[in-house]
Amino acid sequence: MEVLRQQWEAEQRRLKQLIRQESDFAPIQYIAGVDISFVKESNTEACVCLAILDYHNLDHVVYHQCKKVALTQPYIPGFLAFREIDHILEVLQELEQAHPEWMPQMIMVDGNGILHPRGLGLASHLGAVTDLPTIGVAKNFLWIEDLADFNRDIIRERAQAELHTVGSSFLLKGRSGVVHGACLRSTEDSVNPIYVSVGHRVSLDDALVICTHTAQFRIPEPVRQADKISRTFLREEASQG
């Protein structure tokens, strides 16, 4: 396991050098959400889902693909992408082959971008290997050493004190001075923030704007739909025995 960890760390260092935190993306017509949901009581059987939405009509899911997968790589904290990336790449490749006209200009990932112990969460990992613009959208705060001044209680208090309007945010700035991401109030009803971080080829400012635009509920719609569709897929499969 230690040898594998060292190999993965080396690969993360290599991929991190490819990450660009400045915006470099085409006008968004289609935006994707990717999510992996696990089969109940299993940590290896899962469903990977890619959902493509019309950026200007978020009620319209133009394409989705669900695929039952088996995660064969071991789970090591900080290296989640290595369990999931190949399955996400597979559904993206199938989309490109079958419906290239629906290839998204932006991908939102249920997970973190540079908000990660080594600056390469799943969203950044996906962006680095595909060179597609990506944003990390996390439901929960991921503590890293540089963010030792933050914890869930502090974030909750700051969110209640500072995030009064839709689109308001505060930075997750580490002791080093590095900005790892931001806490965002995504909707009027969502007092609990989401955690947005740069994936690849999108600035944090633009990522916050895009997340706010796509949030009809707390979680931006591309990610919410991918999660919803994958869970429905698994429920229907289970009901069929």
Q: Which amino acid is at 62?
A: V
- Residue 238: per-residue pLDDT: 81
pLDDT in tens, 161-189: 999 999 999 999 999 999 999 999 999 99
pLDDT at 132: 98
Evaluate if residue 117 carries a pLDDT over 90: yes
Write the CB contacts of 81 (distance below 8 Å, at least 6 apart in sequence).
111, 120, 121, 122, 125, 126
| In-domain check, residue 84 | yes
pLDDT in tens, 189-239: 988 999 999 999 999 999 999 999 999 999 999 999 999 999 999 998 888
Q: For 105-170, give the secondary structure using H, E and C.
A: CEEEEEECCCCCCCCCCHHHHHHHHHCCCEEEEECCCCCCHHHCCCCHHHHHHHHHHHCCCCCCEE
Percentage of the chain lying above the pLDDT 70 cut = 100
Domain annotation covers residue 111: yes
Q: 33 falls in which pLDDT band (50, 70, 90)?
A: very high
- The answer as to whether 149 is a domain residue is no
How confident is the model over 119-138, as a mean pLDDT? 98
171 part of a folded domain? no
CATH of the domain at 54: 3.30.2170.10
Contact yes or no for 169/159 (Cβ under 8 A): no
Domain count across the chain: 1
Q: Is residue 122 part of a domain?
A: yes
- What percent of the chain shows pLDDT beyond 90? 94
Q: For residue 168, tell me if it sits in a domain.
A: no
The pLDDT assigned to 189 comes to 92
Q: Given this model, what pLDDT does residue 241 score?
A: 61
User: 120-149: b or e for each residue (b if 16 or more CB lie within 10 Å)?
Assistant: bbbbbbbbbbbebbbbbbbeebbebebbee
Q: What is the pLDDT of residue 156?
A: 92
Indicate whether 190 belongs to any domain.
Answer: no
Residue range(s) defining the domain that contains residue 111 = 2-141+197-204+219-239
128 falls within a domain: yes
Dmax (CA) of the chain: 53
| pTM recorded for the entire structure | 0.96
The mean of the pLDDT values for the chain is: 96
